[in-house]
Structure 1
Amino acid sequence: MSELGQFQDAFATALAQRTSAPITAWLPDGEAEAAGLAVYRNTIAKGCVDALAANFPTVASLVGDDWFRAAAAQFAREHPPTGAALLAYGEAFADWLERFPPAGDLPYLPAMARLDRMWTTALFAPEAEPLRAEAFALAPDVLAAARPRLHPSLAFARFDSGLPGLWLAAREPEPGEIELIDDPQAVLIVRPGDAVHCRLLDPAGFAFLAAARDGASLGEAITAAGEAAPTADLATLFAALIADGVFSGLDLGDPA
């Protein structure tokens, strides 16, 4: 490695470890501390905090700016970025919040962070053209045997309480009064085009997508949806998922 490369690695280590020791060899004789190092540290710290605020806007809105920025600064000290791009920084933030003592009185906060993370992941997921309804205009036996490929941006999750509804309400421009209900809820997040789309997902829809994610055929996924919610309108459910853009491909199987 060149001396420049060695210095760059040492400089990055000095910033992360908050000490001049790794770059002592490049300092003028008699100097043990680089006076300007704090400027770089502060710039990086502010960038990390700003990135976390952008990537976890629901968490920030629920706790307020002062609380969030103090927590984000501590997280950044413990989890410095591993790359130059901060667009998706904060992968460990939700787990960290579970161990962060000041968040102990806010048990919903880690889930809000996970949902924010799902949204950000969907935003930066690979592009794919969603299937339109005409792609499913097949003979019933062929359609039932086909295995759907889910859109690469698709994320969905189920919670034991109404955390998805709380998250969706908190993301509104003017959320008003927000209430956490006790009933289980699921959420769907997908970006079939230029914008991320989010909505609550009923038990039948969740069962369908979970089965499809695990490799089930359309017929098997529809059966799983019907078992999860016997009174569900399965035709309407399937049409809504197509409209959501959750499918990016269809592998035709053997109807037999």
Structure 2
Amino acid sequence: MSPVSQQARFAAAVQDPTRPLPDGVVSYRGDADPLRFAVYRNNVHVGLVGVLASKFPVCARLVGDDFFTAMARIYVADHKPATPVMMRYGADFPDFIASFDNARSVPYLADIARLEEAWAIAYNAADQEPLVIAQLAGLEPHSLLETQLHAHPACSLIISTFPVGTIWSAHQTSGITVRPGAETVLLTRPQADVQVTVIPAADAAFLARLLRGEAIGAAAAAVLETHASFDLAQALTGLCALGAFSSSREG
């Protein structure tokens, strides 16, 4: 059997406890030792649960360590890493939480997990200089309105019917009051630190259109149809200050 085939059988046995012990896995006496391999398999699972606990700490605090560990073990049983880069593991954990019946008593838990996944992506995103408002200020009005903005690699939006940004912030800093209501959260990394910012609904709608590739003028016009008080200059200045964009080009 080729080394690749042996590795594949070993990995399959680690993932599935119903599979037979891989060939060549023996004790110091030379005999098969399924109990020792079961310990190894369990250590792998425990390690992956630990990865999830580190990546989704607010989720763990919201439901408690025992519940989170039990939920994570169920996830790990059917979701093994597709890559050796552990920062990518658990990307679909928020979707798993959304479908996990026992978590329905905390209806905002999946969105908190989406925020934490986005935070990890922002933290590990490629370094790029964010676009500053001065780079747009010199454009002629017509050119500005035809300009498309490119999202910074660390930029993402989390749209929720729950106050997930405030809930997340309350677990970082004391003294924050959480009030009911929908929130849209912008994650950016303008400097070295990830910023989690709750932005107004009109700004969120504008940014969402820009991230879909719409030019500034078309996006602003669409937002003004539903948000009459939308201020284009204020929105652009604020989004640039938060580091939402990395470059621009005319459409």
TM-score band by shorter chain is 0.7 to 0.9
Q: Secondary structure at the residue paired with 2:247?
A: strand
Per-residue Cα deviation, 1:117-163 (whole angstroms, up to 9, x for no partner): 12122222233211122211212222111111111221113223333
Q: Secondary structure at the residue paired with 2:162?
A: coil
Aligned residue type for 2:189: R
User: Which of 186-195 and 221-230 deviates more?
Assistant: 221-230
User: Offset at 1:208?
Assistant: 1.2
Query: 1:22 and 1:35 mapped to 2: Cα distance?
Result: 10
Instruction: Tell me what 2:133 maps to.
Output: 133
Instruction: Tell me what 1:161 maps to.
Output: 162
Query: 1:19 and 1:25 mapped to 2: Cα distance?
Result: 18
Which of 184, 201, 204 in structure 2 is aligned with 1:203? 201
Contact 2:15-2:80 within 8 A present in 1 as well: yes
Query: 1:191 and 1:102 mapped to 2: Cα distance?
Result: 34
User: Offset at 1:31?
Assistant: 5.1
Query: 1:32 and 1:43 mapped to 2: Cα distance?
Result: 19
Contact 1:150-1:213 within 8 A present in 2 as well: yes
Contact 2:144-2:216 within 8 A present in 1 as well: yes
TM-score calculated relative to the size of structure 2: 0.88
User: Offset at 1:72?
Assistant: 1.3
Aligned residue type for 1:93: F
User: Which of 239-248 and 152-161 deviates more?
Assistant: 152-161
RMSD in angstroms over aligned alpha carbons?
2.4
Which of 191, 194, 204 in structure 2 is aligned with 1:193? 191
Contact 1:20-1:32 within 8 A present in 2 as well: no
Contact 1:10-1:22 within 8 A present in 2 as well: no
1:37–1:229: structure 2 CA closer, same or farther, 3 Å change rule?
Answer: same
Per-residue Cα deviation, 1:216-245 (whole angstroms, up to 9, x for no partner): 112222223433422233322211111011
Runs of 5+ consecutive residues of structure 2 not aligned to the other structure? none
User: Offset at 1:34?
Assistant: 3.1
Instruction: Tell me what 1:117 maps to.
Output: 117
Q: Secondary structure at the residue paired with 1:21?
A: coil
Instruction: Tell me what 1:179 maps to.
Output: 178
User: Offset at 1:51?
Assistant: 0.7
Contact 1:14-1:22 within 8 A present in 2 as well: yes
Instruction: Tell me what 2:2 maps to.
Output: 3
**Identical columns (%):** 32
User: Offset at 1:52?
Assistant: 0.3
Q: How many residues align?
A: 249
User: Offset at 1:33?
Assistant: 4.5
Runs of 5+ consecutive residues of structure 1 not aligned to the other structure? none
Contact 1:190-1:246 within 8 A present in 2 as well: yes
Contact 2:91-2:117 within 8 A present in 1 as well: yes
